[in-house]
Amino acid sequence: MLDRTHRFRRAGATAAIAIAAVTLASCGDSTGPKNKQNALRPAGKYSHEILDLTRPFFWIAVVIGIGVIGGTIFVALRFREKEGEERAVRQVHGNTVLEISWTVIPAVILAVMAVPTVATIFNLAKKPTGADVVHVTVTARQWWWQFHYDDPGNGVETANELHIPVGAPVELTLQGPPECSPAPCYLNGVIHSFWVPELNGKKDVVPGRTHYLNLQAERPGTYLGQCAEYCGLAHADMRLRVIAHTPDDYRAWVQSQRTAKTTVAALEKGVDNVTWQCASCHSFESGKPGAVGPNLAHLADRTGFAGDKYLMNYDNLWRWVYDAPGRKPLGKLTQRMPAFKDQNMSEAEAQKIACFLLINTATNPNPPPECAGK
Ligand code: CUA
């Protein structure tokens, strides 16, 4: 009987060690998942700074954790009551030295850790300077991200997809949707949080307030982000991607975005804008924000749409036009993409609109075969 208990204990201990080993191995920054959303794989100076702070603190916490847990287990085993050795428990009413020391020691540890932490917070918040700084205003909507490039003469406006040059600091001005009346009122305005783990930490986006966040990428590539503050039904579908280009590619991208590929007049001719009123919510002009929805002047240049939930392709796009609330929970927002299928839009009509957009809002159109003749 005793033997079996012993074996169970040994198996339990082995399992615990194995689980701990696997868990610790998965934390390694060089072996972690390359899911493009891994704060342990920093890809820019701000995220490096955060990880450089996290790493020593992690090991300090490990040492303290092992000390506390080890001490607890040791004391429990060493001083437990054994069979045949029953004894009266000695009553202790406090120990001043012990109590002062376990108050002072953690306070000192926290005070020491605060020094590099506060320094890092100030470093991360420092306003970037230099001629190459890119300024972008980020507006958090329910449920998508609006990016407006602020540099004079830039005229670039996009959604859910932020293009940046490698090596240059990018200063984001984070804000909620514009005020409506009677003030204070923000249409569909709730708190969101902007987070691209491989480029920097999180920053809340709060209606009525202006926050700043810096990004910098050290190599070209796509870095995925996600709204990190619960903001309603489609919170999980409020994603974004940052695409870092070489400086030359970035300049070419800006150039391509500066001129609209289509106009509302062309839209009137191509699809039934009078009935569906696309242009009353969306803008088809470069650099001009839409009244409610994303700017569509270069929609087809984007990798995804609808808060980066769907990849940009014919099938996803026409189904979205046809029945957006059926493709992503939009709840009872006062202003949102309607369910056009309930307003007598036919599937063929939705497909025609998707083709119009894929052909007329792409810098280099590559229409799918379904769009031939449309
Ligand atoms: Cu926006 Cu969660």
For residue range 9-21, list pLDDT tens digits in order.
Answer: 666 666 677 666 6
In ligand 1, which atom is closest to the CA atom of 236? 2
pLDDT tens for each residue of 28-53: 444 556 778 999 999 999 999 999 99
Q: What would the mean pLDDT of 262-267 be, rounded to a whole number?
A: 84
- Do 204 and 229 form a contact (C-beta atoms < 8 A)? yes
Q: Which residues pair with 225 in a beta bridge?
A: 240
pLDDT tens for each residue of 114-146: 999 999 999 999 999 999 999 999 999 999 999
User: How many A from CA of 214 to the centre of ligand 1?
Assistant: 19
In ligand 1, which atom is closest to the CA atom of 142? 1
In ligand 1, which atom is closest to the CA atom of 192? 1
Tell me whether the omega of the peptide bond preceding residue 182 falls within 30 degrees of 0, making it cis.
yes
- Which of the two residues, 271 and 33, has the higher pLDDT score? 271
In ligand 1, which atom is closest to the CA atom of 231? 2
Output the pLDDT for position 203.
Answer: 97
- Do 164 and 250 form a contact (C-beta atoms < 8 A)? yes
User: How many A from CA of 96 to the centre of ligand 1?
Assistant: 49
Confidence of residue 373 (pLDDT cuts 50, 70, 90): confident
Q: How far is CA 139 from CA 36, 43, 178, 292, 352, in A?
A: 23, 24, 9, 12, 30
pTM of the model: 0.85
* Pick from 329, 317, 307, 311: nearest CA to 354: 317
Give the binding-site residues of ligand 1, using a 6 Å CB cut-off: 140, 143, 192, 227, 229-231, 235, 238
Output the pLDDT for position 7.
Answer: 61
- Which of the two residues, 373 and 40, has the higher pLDDT score? 40
C-alpha 263 chain-centroid distance: 32
For the residues of 32-76, what is the DSSP string, one character each? S--SS--TTS--SHHHHHHHHHHHHHHHHHHHHHHHHHHHHHHHH
User: How many A from CA of 191 to the centre of ligand 1?
Assistant: 7
Q: CA angle, 180 as apex, 175 and 186 as ends, to 5°?
A: 45
b/e string for 289-311 if b means 16 or more Cβ within 10 A?
bbebbbbbbbbbbbebbbbbbbe
User: How many A from CA of 175 to the centre of ligand 1?
Assistant: 13
- Residue ID of nearest Cα to ligand 1 atom 1: 192
Percent of the chain with pLDDT over 70: 91
